[in-house]
């Protein structure tokens, strides 16, 4: 058993000082610092840092030159390790709309990573399938060549690797895909869709649980035709938000928070291969993406994923909404864990996995622990090329 002391530990919706975490692969107890057993294996000094639950990124395509669609264990390990520098302890590798052999290969790699965790990185929770069951009218950066009608048999074949599926409900004949997702305990999420408010609300009533990157890949909100975005704001479902100031204006952060509250929002990165590598040209789902400044776009100017990281999303959102850390952190920890029904992640409580992150007063990541092992230390920071 190990101990961590000298930090401000976020527990539930508050925090405590003068306490120590006792942990191995799981959190065993939270005790007064004076009560740390003398025979612990090691003691980590938090030096006044905030001790927060590990972050879960449920929508991330890639980072540091690697992408889920590479369909390789090496790429998933690279992503898993790189994400720990940004506080992420678990994630859903996210696919793109490509031909079926490419998607099959990517899902097989994800399944392998689920059963054989990366040596030193965030844990793979299962794939987020973003496409090919989308609307051709709301493709965004997805390749319309490979868009298909929803296929329940595909879901059944790959249910061991899938954790969340984005689909356009207007393409789902007689709700067959939605029913298959619910039967397989895979999270159904609406996105890349031209659905009306009424159709989206019907999908939510039938069991769809979230909306993928709210406002993006949807009909623009109109006061007479609210569309999918209006339904997502009105229904008791979770909304993903890309808080980079590019996909959504910072003022929208405050509006969405006022409408959804702190329990139905999940910040995601939607990061692509070029994230953390600066300006340049990369590929995303077989299409060329150029990164300039804070934007990643196709040649026609279409936004193509992001270069956001989840710790920066947290800082951006908090700065614009005024939420304190102990309130804002649930948007990247407890809320995504609840959506995925990960009952032992996203919280610092006895019995939960010892996945936690140390943040300084500016909310920058100093250390990251996964299953009780230190996997990132800012003092030994390496850039992506050194991973």
pLDDT at 305: 85
Tell me the per-residue pLDDT of 10-49, one tens digit each, with 9 for 90 and over.
998 788 899 999 999 999 999 999 999 999 999 999 999 9
pLDDT per residue over 288-329, tens digit each? 888 888 888 888 888 888 999 999 999 999 999 999 988 999
Q: With a threshold of 0.85, does the pTM exceed it? A: yes
CA 260, 265, 268 angle in degrees (round to 5)?
150
**SS3 (DSSP) at 192:** coil
> Which tens digit of pLDDT belongs to each residue from 91-143?
999 999 999 999 999 999 999 999 987 778 999 999 999 989 999 999 888 88
Residue 295 is predicted with a pLDDT of 82
Domains of the chain: 2-51+349-386 (2.30.40.10), 54-339 (3.20.20.140)
Whether 275 contacts 339, CB under 8 Å: no
Residue 345 pLDDT more than 60?
Answer: yes
Tell me if residue 95 falls in helix, strand or coil: coil
Asked whether 68 and 75 are in contact (CB, 8 A), the reply is: yes
pLDDT of residue 63: 96
| Residue 57 a catalytic site member | no
Whether the predicted pLDDT of 387 surpasses 60: no
In angstroms, the CA 254 to CA 268 distance is 16
CA 72 – CA 113 distance, rounded (Å): 9
The per-residue pLDDT for range 52-99, each reduced to its tens digit, is 999 999 999 999 999 999 999 999 999 999 999 999 999 999 999 999
Which residue among 57, 270, 311, 355 is the active-site one? 270
Write the pLDDT tens digit of every residue in 358-367.
999 999 999 9
- Separation between Cα atoms, residue 20 and residue 70, nearest integer Å: 41
pLDDT 10s digits, 191-248: 999 999 999 999 999 999 999 999 999 999 999 999 999 999 999 999 999 999 999 9
Instruction: Estimate the crossing angle of helix 197-205 against helix 227-234, to 10 degrees.
Output: 40
* Pairwise pLDDT comparison (64 vs 383), residue with the higher score: 64
Query: pLDDT at residue 278 above 70?
Result: yes
Closest CA to 91 of 57, 126, 52: 57
Q: Which pLDDT score, from 0 to 100, does residue 385 have?
A: 47
pLDDT at 383: 58
pLDDT band of residue 382 (cuts 50, 70, 90) is: low
């Amino acid at each position: 058993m190990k101990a961590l002391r000298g930090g401000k530990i976020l527990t539930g919706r508050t925090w405590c000082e003068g306490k120590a975490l006792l942990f191995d692969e799981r959190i065993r107890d939270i005790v007064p610092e004076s009560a740390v057993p003398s025979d612990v294996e090691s003691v980590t000094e938090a030096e006044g840092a905030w001790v927060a639950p590990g972050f879960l990124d449920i929508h991330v395509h890639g980072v540091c030159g690697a992408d889920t669609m590479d369909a390789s264990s090496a790429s998933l390990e690279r992503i898993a390790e790189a994400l720990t520098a940004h506080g992420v302890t678990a994630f859903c590798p996210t696919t793109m709309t490509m031909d079926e052999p490419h998607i099959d290969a990517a899902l097989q790699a994800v399944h392998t990573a689920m059963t054989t965790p990366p040596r030193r990185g965030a844990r793979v929770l299962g794939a987020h399938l973003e496409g090919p069951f989308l609307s051709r009218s709301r493709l965004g950066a997805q390749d319309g060549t490979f868009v298909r009608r929803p296929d329940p048999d595909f879901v059944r074949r790959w249910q061991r690797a899938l954790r969340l599926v984005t689909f356009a409900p207007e393409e789902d004949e007689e709700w067959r895909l939605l029913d298959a997702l619910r039967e397989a305990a895979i999270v159904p999420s609406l996105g890349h869709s031209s659905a009306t408010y009424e159709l989206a609300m019907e999908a939510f009533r039938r069991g769809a649980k979230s909306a993928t990157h709210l406002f993006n890949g949807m009909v623009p909100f109109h006061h007479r035709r609210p569309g999918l975005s209006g339904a997502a704001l009105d229904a008791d479902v979770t909304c993903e938000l890309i808080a980079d100031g590019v996909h959504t204006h910072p003022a929208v952060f405050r509006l969405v928070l006022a409408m959804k509250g702190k329990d139905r929002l999940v910040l995601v990165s939607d990061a692509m291969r070029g994230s953390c590598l600066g300006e340049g040209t990369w590929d995303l789902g077989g299409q060329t993406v150029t990164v300039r400044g804070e934007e990643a776009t196709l040649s026609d100017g279409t936004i193509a994923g992001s270069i956001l990281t989840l710790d920066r999303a947290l800082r951006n959102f908090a700065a614009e909404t005024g939420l304190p850390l102990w309130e804002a952190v649930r948007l990247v920890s407890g809320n995504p864990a609840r959506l995925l029904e990960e009952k032992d992640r996203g919280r610092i409580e006895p019995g939960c996995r010892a996945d936690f992150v140390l943040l300084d007063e500016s909310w920058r990541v100093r250390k990251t622990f996964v299953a009780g092992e230190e996997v990132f230390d800012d003092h030994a920071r390496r850039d992506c090329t050194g991973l």
